[in-house]
Structure 1
């Protein structure tokens, strides 16, 4: 069982020719509404790869919250521990211009009301995967009280309570998050800084350059599959979900990262933030095996 503790947002994506100036009104060319939030993305992507997944998240007592729960049920996720709060379901308003640049405003909504006391007997399983789009004190309790393998995807990279890292087995920052957390530009030095707290490994995701695994006295560069990417949204979430799935299966960390790289790369050849289903990528996984 993989337990995911994290966020859910309704994503409102508006496509425009150009960003508005202060006081200016522009017209949207298209608008898309989709399921988002790193916790939800990672839980769904893990379930699509065949894992049993429990999601601990918070939604509002509104239509968007009900739609989220129905969506997760369709994706075969255990929603028994999703909390319904007296607040609007979290939402993200994403404006994308013709060059693919974006501006994002997030209303955290119910996510901010997922409290430490909401976490009780459900903190069990082989692997926990969590992020930083919810309250830090909730993340800290989840990591501290979980007895299995604990993965923290430190996104966004703002971390006020650095002691949270004391309860992390595997940390998975991208390059920007890594520099923010370590205070270092040099990868090797920064890994050493973070490994003073993180128990087992720091895995830095490097996009098309693959990933770097940092363990005590050991560094492993893992290449990725070359693809023609059309949408990199959510690739990090797919990577983390796949990593959790294959570590839960008992794979060695290097092999799990290699598969996570492949599946994340494949996901960028499709539109959307969610990962592929197992049948789509089974042959790629078998080639790696």
Structure 2
């Protein structure tokens, strides 16, 4: 029987960030907090997030994590959002919204499987340069508190920021120190206006080697490989190296595209059975899906409008 793989969708609730100076991120090129952007403006509506979650469930996509700009939500508001999302999915979520305090972890725990630390690069000198206002220490403190509360720990790594394979030993020690059980390996996506504009993204072989080393040392690790729209051809190489799932692909906007078809083909090429679909729209009875929801009629009506809009976009 072929080993399975799937697409993991990250649910992003905003494109606002109170940090805003990570040198690889497009947010560093945007208007800074305090200059007319209070974060709420950049937040997506609750109905759009819930409609997207319904779609993910129907398409067989897993949720990689719930994320967004740092401090875009107040604690109580984010807790309420997670509560609504769990009511739809029936599952708890990985949360990736920056370093959380013990108080926040306790607030989110009923709806949270684990926490994700956006470590980005494990080389300390490179980290200090590319993420000057996002130190690793607060994430480590979060991991310690999360472990005490029985929450799982995960981390993200962006390859291509200047690290080398010689840095793998640092990653290995970090994983062991915090009992990391899931890791997301992304490749740099050079953004216009950043210092990485014009840089070459890491090759499939380089990204695969990080995955291969991690898989060899940590055979039970949940490893996710992030690929962008221009890299569907990486998939078979990354899966063969030991990745469990695929992410980062803009699956809603590019549903059924040649790139989406290539991802499914590449999974098969790697000897994997692709769970869910990026190419074939299932029949979705919108009224039936909305009727299932235990929300007030106003919210249900808004979710219906958004869900129908997503379906129309994907069927174009």
- Which TM-score band (shorter chain)? 0.3 to 0.5
Higher RCO, 1 vs 2 (CA within 8 Å, ≥6 residues apart):
2
Q: TM-score under structure 1 normalisation?
A: 0.39
Higher Cα Rg, which structure:
2
Q: TM-score under structure 2 normalisation?
A: 0.36
> Which of the two has greater strand per residue?
1
> Which of the two has greater helix per residue?
2
